[in-house]
Amino acid sequence: MNDRKRCAHCRRVLPPTRVKNQRYCKQNACQRARKARWQRQKMATDEDYQVNQKDAFKHWCRQNPDYWRQYRDRHPEYFKRNRQLQAQRNAKRRRIAKMDAKKSFLPFNSGTYYILSTPVDGVAKKDVIAQKVRIIPAS
């Protein structure tokens, strides 16, 4: 029976090693896969790691405020194709929601309300806010 270990990513036979639980070979693609797996697991289980990643991303965004505009300007074909694909997906759906759709409120009673965005152009987004409202008479 063949008891040689194989790389968890590329399935190549691993060379003999002193590392007992080695699962990945030294190929760059395999090491990237190993790191990506570790990061997914870490994000799923470590709240501090999640917070640190979000803070690092916010910091990067502050340091690179024009990145996405410049990326869009360098790769217009990607964004054109993406818009076409999104239009096709939207056409297949009955209703699509937008998060930032806003309408003025009509008079209502005190209570707890779930604030939903109204579809605009058939597009609705996912944010729903539960908000307690207390009416104060204007007297």
- Cα separation of 30 and 26, whole Å? 7
79 to 67, 82, 88, 139: CA distances (angstroms):
15, 5, 14, 54
pLDDT at residue 47, as a whole number: 93
For residue range 73-123, what is the model confidence (pLDDT) as tens digits?
888 888 888 888 888 888 887 665 665 555 555 566 767 766 666 665 666
Backbone angles phi, psi at 81, to 5 degrees: -65, -40
Per-residue pLDDT at 52 exceeds 60: yes
For residue range 127-136, what is the model confidence (pLDDT) as tens digits?
666 667 776 6
Asked if 18 contacts 5 with a C-beta cutoff of 8 angstroms, the reply is no
pLDDT at residue 108, as a whole number: 65
For residue range 22-35, what is the model confidence (pLDDT) as tens digits?
999 999 999 999 99
pTM for the full model? 0.48
Asked if 22 contacts 5 with a C-beta cutoff of 8 angstroms, the reply is yes
Does residue 62 or residue 83 have the better pLDDT?
62
The beta strand positions in 1-139, using DSSP E, are 111-116, 128-133
Please report, for the chain, the start and end positions of each structural domain, with discontinuous segments joined by +: 28-92, 96-139
pLDDT at residue 100, as a whole number: 58
